[in-house]
């Protein structure tokens, strides 16, 4: 039996430990977090994050071999643990050297020092947070320069789960990646963690590498995923200028097995806590290593994402006669993707901020993310109406913008919505999830991503003409 501690009970630490404890009843798993409110929520029926299937998993293990603690217990917990996962946040630095690009490692370093202070015996320390390459080495250095003579093996075990499908991804991962030092003790530690995951993951899906490859692979995986979205979004702009349809193009190229069909959904842009942060990190590392061309290449993925968001808003302004001032606009979606309450880096909030600049009157609607949206919008929240019911949000609106791909938005009665809106009524589908032809037939002027708009009137200065009714 092992004593497993996870420091940081967030979107990654919480679900990961829940699944480990479910599959490994022989081990005891404890989570600790400095956020007491979060810990209280983990212990309650209202979990701190919305994630399909999470509650069921937590309920299996909580109180059996899964326990939650606040930070005042950190010393005893560190001492108790054999294996410590560190899953504290590593946001982009907002100050000093590397501001806006490098990862802020202050929480990580503080955690390493706490481990050093309170550990009285050997431990395996696992990087679960995404970190710049060679952080593990720095951590090893901090940890292993201790006067107590305690041995720490630092491993990298990046998490590839996507929010909204976290439980599915953890239960049935494409791969688990474990990086360790090529020393006897390092390899023993790697084997311990391989054995842990082998309780439910087939061995052939557990990849072991050296530490640096593991750390870098996490950044590269996210950079490649984001790059595919930026690539298809770049093509969506071209499609809107020609008569190509981005979904047809994505399908046509995705059937090539070398390209594959995934992550080719054109959208208003990608969000989430990882893509932007990890690419900035990759850019920063490349610059630091004297590779400006490599840095510029990856930076372009972010620039394209910003362009796509800005282009979406510009299309709205342009379609709605160059003025949004005082017009009510219902934003369908606040979360950065469907099936999550998370609004970090959400394109929906970026669009919301830009529309507020245009002095539009915003009704923001989302089934699970309104509370996080309110917090993320900070001082701007006063200018936004937060309305969970889409019918109410759209009531009297001039336009709807679909910004998150919640299935819920595809199942609404759009005739009823149209009847309650100001006319001409506009709908901007930033996720291409609605039935555009049906909406057009109801009377909406429809603006998908990467397809010709469907308008009931002629915009003289716009490429597309009037489409037949
Ligand atoms: C984590 C990592 O932060 C990120 O680098 C990686 O890319 C994905 O995994 P996530 O779990 O989504 O991200 O972050 P968050 O939900 O913010 O959770 C981090 C938790 O750590 C928070 O609950 C925070 O309160 C806690 N924390 C932070 C500590 O317990 N101690 C600290 O010193 C700092
Ligand atoms: C991502 C990675 O997928 C995951 O492996 C890593 O551990 C963390 O970062 P996440 O950010 O939770 O996961 O969600 P993901 O499904 O990757 O979506 C990211 C963003 O891209 C969302 O805003 C989503 O809407 C957008 N997206 C995704 C598109 O716009 N088009 C697509 O085809 C796919």
- Nearest-CA residue for ligand 2 atom 5 is 160
Sheet containing 206-210: give its strands across. Answer: 66-70, 28-33, 3-7, 83-86, 123-127, 152-156, 176-180, 206-210
Q: What is the largest CA-CA distance in the chain?
A: 80
Check if the beta carbon of residue 273 is closer than 8 Å to that of residue 11.
yes
Active site residue 274: yes
- Nearest-CA residue for ligand 2 atom 3 is 162
For residue 338, the SS3 value is coil
Pocket flag, ligand 1, residue 101 (CB < 6 Å): no
Pocket flag, ligand 2, residue 348 (CB < 6 Å): no
pLDDT at 91: 81
CA 139, chain centre distance (Å): 26
pLDDT at 468: 37
Pocket flag, ligand 2, residue 301 (CB < 6 Å): no
pLDDT at 177: 98
Mean pLDDT by 10 residues, the chain (469 residues): 96 97 98 97 95 96 98 97 94 84 84 91 91 79 81 94 95 97 95 98 97 93 98 97 96 98 98 94 94 98 98 97 96 96 96 98 97 96 98 98 97 98 98 98 98 84 41
Q: In the chain, count of helices (H) and strands (E)?
A: 17, 14
The alpha carbon of 225 and the centre of ligand 2 are apart by a number of angstroms equal to 7
pLDDT at 144: 83
- Cα–Cα distances in angstroms (integers) from residue 85 to residues 7, 14, 49, in the given order: 6, 11, 19
Rounded CA separation 145/138 (Å):
11
């Amino acid at each position: 039996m092992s004593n497993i501690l996870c420091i940081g009970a967030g979107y990654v630490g919480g679900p990961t430990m829940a699944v480990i404890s479910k599959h490994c009843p022989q081990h005891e798993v404890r989570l600790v977090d400095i956020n007491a409110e979060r810990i209280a929520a983990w212990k309650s029926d209202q979990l701190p994050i919305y994630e399909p299937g999470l509650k069921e998993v937590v309920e299996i293990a909580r109180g059996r071999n899964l326990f939650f603690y606040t930070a005042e217990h950190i010393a005893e917990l560190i001492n108790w643990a054999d294996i410590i996962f560190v899953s504290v946040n590593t946001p982009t630095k907002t100050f000093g050297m590397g501001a806006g690009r490098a990862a802020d490692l202050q929480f990580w370093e503080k955690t390493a020092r706490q481990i050093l202070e309170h550990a009285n015996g050997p431990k395996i320390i696992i990087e679960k947070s995404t970190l710049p390459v060679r952080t593990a080495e720095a951590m090893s250095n901090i940890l292993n320069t201790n006067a107590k003579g305690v041995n720490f093996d630092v491993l990298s075990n990046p998490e590839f789960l996507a929010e909204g499908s976290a439980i599915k991804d953890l239960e049935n991962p494409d791969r688990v990646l474990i990086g360790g030092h090529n020393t006897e003790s390092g390899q023993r530690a790697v084997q311990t963690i391989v054995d842990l995951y082998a309780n439910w993951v087939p061995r052939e899906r557990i990849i072991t590498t050296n530490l640096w490859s593991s750390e870098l692979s996490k950044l590269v995986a996210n950079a490649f995923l984001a790059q595919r979205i930026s690539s298809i979004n770049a093509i969506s702009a071209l499609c809107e200028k020609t008569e190509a349809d981005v979904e047809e193009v994505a399908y046509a190229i995705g059937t090539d097995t070398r390209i594959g069909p995934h992550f080719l959904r054109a959208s208003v842009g990608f969000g989430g806590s990882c893509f932007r942060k990890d690419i900035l990190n990759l850019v920063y590392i490349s610059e630091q290593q004297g590779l400006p061309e490599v840095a510029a290449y990856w930076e372009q993925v972010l620039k394209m994402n910003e362009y796509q968001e800005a282009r979406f808003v510009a299309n709205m302004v342009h379609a709605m006669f160059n003025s949004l001032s005082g017009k009510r606009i219902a934003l369908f979606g606040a979360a950065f993707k469907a099936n999550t309450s998370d609004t970090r880096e959400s394109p929906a909030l970026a669009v919301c901020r830009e529309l507020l600049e245009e002095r539009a009157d915003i009704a923001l609607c989302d089934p699970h993310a309104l509370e996080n949206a309110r917090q993320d919008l900070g001082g701007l929240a006063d200018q936004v109406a937060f309305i969970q019911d889409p019918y109410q949000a759209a009531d009297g609106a001039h336009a709807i913008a679909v910004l998150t791909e919640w299935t819920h938005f595809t199942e609404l009665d759009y005739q009823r919505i149209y009847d309650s809106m100001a006319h001409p009524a506009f709908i901007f589908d930033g996720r291409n999830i609605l039935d555009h032809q049906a909406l057009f037939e109801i009377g909406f002027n429809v603006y998908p991503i990467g397809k010709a708009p469907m308008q009931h009137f002629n915009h003289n200065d716009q490429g597309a003409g009037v489409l037949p009714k």
